[in-house]
Amino acid sequence: MTTPVNLLDFDLDGLTSFCEGLGEKRFRATQLFRWIHQRGVADFGQMTDLAKAFRDKLAGVAEVRALPIISQHDSRDGTIKWLFDVGGGNAVEAVFIPEDDRGTLCVSSQAGCAVGCRFCSTGHQGFSRNLTTAEITAQLWFAEHYLRQHLKTTERVISNVVMMGMGEPLQNYDRLIPSLRTMLDDHGYGLSRRRVTVSTSGVVPMMERLARDCSVALAVSLHAPTDELRDHLVPLNKKYPIDELLRTCTAYLASAPRDFITFEYCMLDGVNDAPEHAQALIELMRTHGQRGLRGKFNLIPFNPFPASGLKRSPMPRVLAFGKLLNDAGIVTTVRKTRGDDIDAACGQLAGDVQDRTRVQDRVARQRTVVLQQMPKPKVAAPRERL
Ligand code: SF4
């Protein structure tokens, strides 16, 4: 018996082709898409305005297959973290972060990650596989409709999606795009392009494609002002160095829904948090600003995990770093940590991954070397008490 097609795998165009293949008209696909994504209905029998013959046809070949949930953790601050089983011993996480004016879902795109950023718990776990479109979309489908039930509302709860969970989304490009389109589609979740953010460590060719195919808000994990330091922290920098990355960011702005790029900067004690690093960043942004780049910085207090060998910058230093950037005219904020009591903060999404590409081994081998070689600022930063 063949496995039924999971309809979460389709954007509206894909679902239309599928339905046309069953001999159905286009508008039937739109009705079906709305039942699934707007109303959260998985049972074809409940889709009462679809012809019985169409529902019977669907029941034989298709289904709406959710991801099995391994666990749910509710934080005191309202943050909720789900661990989903994606088979083969792999699990991925999604996190809902409620705020006064928005509800944000942080979504995973891969089981593990092959980029291997030094400060990232996911990167240390290694890589297993890309998630399918259905597995990416299923995180939003489940979270949105669970939250509506839980909060007893028919209104939309999730207003923002950030592709900042496990994985480098632009290394899973072909599966990511239909999922983004479903998020944006008025018959799906109807999210604004400004409120869907793809976060990347800097996969330059895919950033160029994203600008053409589905331009949403962009966040770039910068974390260092020089190639020398960024090579150590974000190994992908060796392939796509800072100058090339920032030129691509500038070009992205031509089609971006926002007039700036968000730059993420994880604050690592004694590694990238000295005033000299801030000064170098200011120079970097000045140079690229003259070419048209506009960016905002988001300073992220590092969430330590034992294998990293790294420590969180003391908060006074984070604030001093932010002040230097702000005083230079670069809008800079410090990310609030949320869900600390359930390990849901940025960089803590661990899931459970079968490392099939031996990234773990590579990261472990390189860690000692990296920490010995990490470029130091020319003048030591003042040390605050932890
Ligand atoms: S920060 Fe992102 S790109 Fe880097 S290892 Fe972690 S998940 Fe991968």
Residues 26 and 169 in one domain: no
In a domain? residue 384: no
Going from the Cα of 380 to the center of ligand 1, the distance in angstroms, rounded, reads: 28
In a domain? residue 357: yes
| pLDDT at position 345 | 61
Q: What kind and span of H or E run contains 175?
A: helix 173-184
Residues 96 and 10 in one domain: no
Q: Residue 174 class from Cβ within 10 Å (0-12 exposed, 13-18 middle, 19+ buried)?
A: exposed
Going from the Cα of 200 to the center of ligand 1, the distance in angstroms, rounded, reads: 8
Going from the Cα of 193 to the center of ligand 1, the distance in angstroms, rounded, reads: 23
Residues 22 and 94 in one domain: no
| pLDDT at position 357 | 55
Q: What CA–CA distance (Å, rounded) separates 314 from 319? A: 9
Residues 52 and 196 in one domain: no
User: Within 6 Å (CB) of ligand 1, which residues are found?
Assistant: 113, 115-117, 120, 122-123, 166-168, 201, 221
Strand partners, 332: 297
Q: What kind and span of H or E run contains 299?
A: strand 295-301
- Four-residue CA torsion sign, 118, 121, 125, 126: negative
Residues 29 and 84 in one domain: no
Residues 33 and 145 in one domain: no
Q: What kind and span of H or E run contains 129?
A: strand 127-130
Which of the listed residues 13, 28, 63 is the one where a domain comes to its end? 63
Going from the Cα of 120 to the center of ligand 1, the distance in angstroms, rounded, reads: 6
Residues 57 and 77 in one domain: no
Q: What stretches in the chain show pLDDT beneath 50?
A: 363, 366-372, 376-386
| pLDDT at position 382 | 33
Pocket test for ligand 1, best of 106, 164, 168 (most atoms within 8 A of CB): 168
| pLDDT at position 347 | 53
Residues 320 and 366 in one domain: yes
DSSP characters over 38-102: IT----GGG-TTS-HHHHHHHHHHEE--PPPEEEEEE-TTS-EEEEEEEETTEEEEEEEEEETTE
In a domain? residue 378: no
pTM: 0.91
Which of the listed residues 20, 44, 63 is the one where a domain comes to its end? 63
In a domain? residue 382: no
Q: What CA–CA distance (Å, rounded) separates 135 from 117? A: 24
Q: Mark the binding-site residues, compressed into ranges.
A: 113, 117, 120, 167-168, 199, 221-223, 303
Residue owning the nearest CA to atom 5 of ligand 1: 123
Q: What CA–CA distance (Å, rounded) separates 222 from 323? A: 18
At which residue do the structure tokens 């048209």 appear?
Answer: 292
Residues 220 and 347 in one domain: yes
Residues 80 and 42 in one domain: no
Pocket test for ligand 1, best of 107, 118, 122, 370 (most atoms within 8 A of CB): 122
**Nearest Cα residue to 73 out of 60, 58, 84:** 84
Range of the domain at 102: 69-373
In a domain? residue 305: yes
In a domain? residue 30: yes
Q: What CA–CA distance (Å, rounded) separates 348 from 343? A: 6
Spatial contact of 185 and 33, defined as CB atoms under 8 Å apart: yes
In a domain? residue 12: yes
CATH number at residue 312: 3.20.20.70
Residue 152 has φ and ψ, to the nearest 5°, of: 55, 55
SS3 145: helix
Count of domains observed in the chain = 2
In a domain? residue 297: yes
Catalytic residues, by residue number, are 93, 346
Residues 163 and 40 in one domain: no
Residues 327 and 223 in one domain: yes
SS3 163: strand
Q: What CA–CA distance (Å, rounded) separates 147 from 154? A: 10
Q: What CA–CA distance (Å, rounded) separates 191 from 180? A: 10
| pLDDT at position 385 | 26
